[in-house]
Structures are given as C-alpha cells and as structure tokens.
Amino acid sequence: MNLGFGTGPLGNLFQAISDGEAARTVTAAWESGIRYYDTAPHYGIGIAETRLGQVLSQHERSSYVLSTKVGRLLEPQEANGRTDIANGFDVPATHRRVWDFSASGIERSIEQSLARLRTDHVDIVLIHDPDESPSPETGLTEAYPVLHELRRQGVIKAIGVGTKDLSILESFASESDVDYLMIAGRYTLLEQPALDTVLPACTRRGIRVLNAGVFNSGLLAQTAPDETATYEYSAVSTPVLERARAIAKACERHGTLLPQAALAFAGAHPAVASVVVGAAKPEHIRRNAELFAMPAPPSALWEELKAVGLLRADAPVPA
C-alpha cells in the first residue's frame, strides 16, 4: 500500500496556480518518494495532465505508475473571455467536455491524454464519474467493454472506474472484471459507507482500491477543524464539523494529529492499494508524505473512536 498523488488541484481547482508552482508541487511529490500519479482530462480541461507530463517526462517511464480517466472527451472551442469556473476550474474555457463512452471516443480521449502527458502509455485507465453522465449505466454497458478489449489487446495494463457514487462502484465490483476501483470520499475517518457492500465485494473479487478524497475535500486535513474547512467541496455544516472536532480531540488525547490518523485509517483496509491525496503547493504534499510515513497511531485511539460511535465497529484499523 502506498501514497499516491491526485492532480485535481493542478488543474486550478477553484483557484489558479502558476505553471511554476504546479511543477514545484509535482517535483516535491517525486522527492517525497511518491511514484503513483492520478490525473484526468476533466481536471482543468487538460491542464493538469499537461503540467503533470512536463515533470514526469523527465523521469524514466518505468519508474512510476500513471493513471488517467475517460468519459469526458475534450473538444476545442473559442474561450471568448470565459473561464471554466462553473465546473470548478479557474482556467480559460478553451475546451468543452463531451460525454463519450463509445470505442472511438475512449480511444480519442486516451490518445489526447498521452499527448498531454508526454508518454506512450498509461498504466491504469479509469472510467470517470459515469454517474454524472446523462446515461450512468453506459459506463458499465459501453465504456467497460471497450476498456476490457483494450486490456486484452495489451494496449492498457489495468482498468477500473472512479467515482463517489456507491451504487456505481457496487455495480462494477459485482458485474465487471475491473482491476481497480477509485473510491472518492466514501471511505474516510469521518465516514465509511463503502464498508457496507463495495469494499467487501472488492475483497471477494480481488479488486484493488485507490482510496481518494480521504480528507473529505479538506476537513480532515486540518489539525483543529474550524468553520473555514470544506466538506464535499462546500462549506461544512455544523453537525459534520462537530463530528470532525470530536475525532480531532480524540487524536490529540492519544498524541496523534487528525490528518495523520486520517491517512493511516484510509490505508488500513486490506483492499486498499493506494491512498491518493491532492495538493496545489509543495509544502502540502511534503507534509502529507511525512504524515503518511509516521508510525501508526496507538490502538487505544481506534478503540476510543469505536467505543463512542465515531468510527464503525467493523472498520479495519492500522496494526
């Protein structure tokens, strides 16, 4: 199980960063020992892939694992002064996203991603957020067969799906032969709904989990959560904030930081292959890597959290 780097913030997620800052962040991830990188055309309509590729192309291709996503095909358009902020990214609206799960659409998407990433292959291709498409079922009925065939041909090493929608994840875990599920924000120290059906199915079927969004979009990244924190990329509600604060106080009583415990817990389930965290600043990814490398929090912390109902009793915890 390892720490992975998620590149959503490199696409100017909600706030623009410079090309230089993005490059320094990827470099910091590399220098921290991170060798798994996840990206997508959706992130900044291609900018995250471009920025990631500029740095990773300086390294031997066999020395890292790279995943990108399909489903949203990028089509050029005139920006005319518009930005993509409505979709969460502060970049000029030079492209529009077109949902396309067809064989030609997926092949075009991969080809475009390879060009932006400056590489001749990606290791893992994930179907991205099929639940947000006009026809969510086509992720499984159309996109999956295409990727399955590309994997059979050896064009792709591994395939999967990435989403926060548990019903979609459960369908893929039960009805497909995917290698990976990327679970976004549904298995964290704050909440563990993926433990009901998705993670047990992954364990039974030998599907590896890429656990993303483990800070719940920022709330668990704070040592002492406050009203400035975000949850699900929006302002945090009082009940959710109070729950996070209660967990943080328990961590403090046991000599542990909340983000340290969040990272340790996120990787403790036996199905998890990688804990994937995003960052827009070098110091943030360095801090995450340092916290991830620390010894596991004491067993007394998990015992207390379970005893008071702040953690599910059936949740695996770090040894």
Alpha carbons 66 and 299: distance in angstroms, whole number: 34
231 neighbors 219 (Cβ within 8 angstroms): yes
* Domains of the chain and any CATH numbers: 2-223+272-296 (3.20.20.100)
Mean pLDDT by 10 residues, the chain (319 residues): 97 96 98 98 98 98 98 96 95 97 97 97 97 96 97 96 97 97 98 97 97 96 93 93 98 98 98 97 98 96 98 96
Q: Two tokens at 294?
A: 């620390």
The predicted pLDDT at position 60 comes to: 97
CB atoms under 10 Å from CB of 235, counted, come to 11
- List Cβ neighbours of 142 (8 Å cut-off, separation of 6 or more): 101, 102
The predicted pLDDT at position 110 comes to: 97
Instruction: Output the DSSP codes for 123-154.
Output: SEEEEE-GGGSSSTTHIIIIIHHHHHHHHHHT
Distances (CA, A) of 263 to 65, 77, 268, 318: 20, 40, 9, 10
Which residues lie across from 183 on neighbouring strands? 163, 211
Is the whole model's pTM more than 0.85, yes or no? yes
142 neighbors 108 (Cβ within 8 angstroms): no
Phi/psi of residue 184, nearest 5 degrees: -100, 105
What pLDDT, in 10s, does the model give residues 16-27? Answer: 999 999 999 999
The predicted pLDDT at position 319 comes to: 86
For the chain, how are helix, strand and coil distributed in percent, rounded to 5?
45, 20, 35
What pLDDT, in 10s, does the model give residues 123-179? Answer: 999 999 999 999 999 999 999 999 999 999 999 999 999 999 999 999 999 999 999
Alpha carbons 290 and 282: distance in angstroms, whole number: 12
The residue from 43, 180, 187, 231 that is catalytic is 43
The predicted pLDDT at position 146 comes to: 97
- For residue 60, the surrounding DSSP H or E stretch is none
The predicted pLDDT at position 12 comes to: 98
Q: Pick from 162, 194, 206, 153: which is nearest to 181 by CA?
A: 162
User: Is 37 known to be catalytic?
Assistant: no
